[in-house]
Amino acid sequence: MPFLDIVDLSAGYGGAPILNGVNLSVGKGEVISLIGPSGSGKSTLLRVLIGLTAPSSGQVSIDGTPVDYASKASVRALRRRMSIVFQQFNLFQNMTALANICLAPVKTLGVAPAAAEARGRELLASVGLADKADSYPDQLSGGQQQRVAIARALAMQPEILLLDEITSALDPERVGEVLDTVRALAATGISMLLVSHEMSFVREISTRVVMMDAGRVVESGPPAQIFTAPQEARTKAFIGAIIRH
């Protein structure tokens, strides 16, 4: 049984739905990359999954339990197993890096502050920022902020992590450090669903690549197949356009 199961998921209103019946399964430990032209619904899919945008129809279940996005309790339970990292980091500007990481475990999981802090420092060390615990976000570079954001998401001990274009807002020379962090993370066996424009990285890290267009899954398969021998015309066009660049 897949860990995360998405069936016929749609979102958006009226004539121009953003998601138009998405079907996708994510197994335990799988790293799945969503690719496709802008406006194809990749980021919206992640937002719907984490409960920031309401779905209009369809079914999402996690570990066999259906998620009711209209129920606060159900969404809260979901967010203990699934976490997200944003393009713009969304770190709390009024807190230090460490405080950003410890906030949710203490406030929502009921972890003792001392234990949360110890774990927070571990996480910071694991993303290579042990010395930045007391820095505020505006004292960190974009890449450092994004690594703190990843550590913050991991502090909730999620079973699946969503990564939404996490390198798009970074200076080019900062992209590498964040990708290194994700690479290390993939090796730990956590499930990941990521949207990225770093195609070589996608090719390297993914267990499966999913091509989306117009709010639907067009094609999915191992990276080698999607990048070298795509089946669908739209995938061919998209891959072709990328490679020409």
**H-helix or E-strand containing 156?**
none
Count other C-beta atoms under 10 Å from residue 172's C-beta.
7
Q: Choose, by CB under 8 A, the member of 28, 58, 79, 128 that binds another protein.
A: 79
In 3D space, the residue among 144, 146, 139, 151 whose CA is nearest the CA of residue 98 turns out to be 151
Q: Which two tokens stand for residue 83?
A: 């976490």
In 3D space, the residue among 224, 13, 144 whose CA is nearest the CA of residue 152 turns out to be 144
Quick check: 104 binds another protein (CB under 8 A)?
Answer: yes
C-beta of 35 vs 162, nearer to another protein:
162
Quick check: 50 binds another protein (CB under 8 A)?
Answer: yes
Q: Choose, by CB under 8 A, the member of 11, 91, 127, 212 that binds another protein.
A: 91
Quick check: 147 binds another protein (CB under 8 A)?
Answer: no
Quick check: 152 binds another protein (CB under 8 A)?
Answer: yes
Q: Choose, by CB under 8 A, the member of 95, 169, 199, 214 that binds another protein.
A: 95
- CA 52 distance to own-chain centroid: 13
CA angle 57, 59, 60 (to 5 degrees): 130
Q: Choose, by CB under 8 A, the member of 74, 90, 157, 207 that binds another protein.
A: 90
Residues that bind another protein (CB under 8 A): 50-52, 76, 79-80, 83-84, 86, 88, 90-95, 103-104, 107-108, 136-138, 152, 156
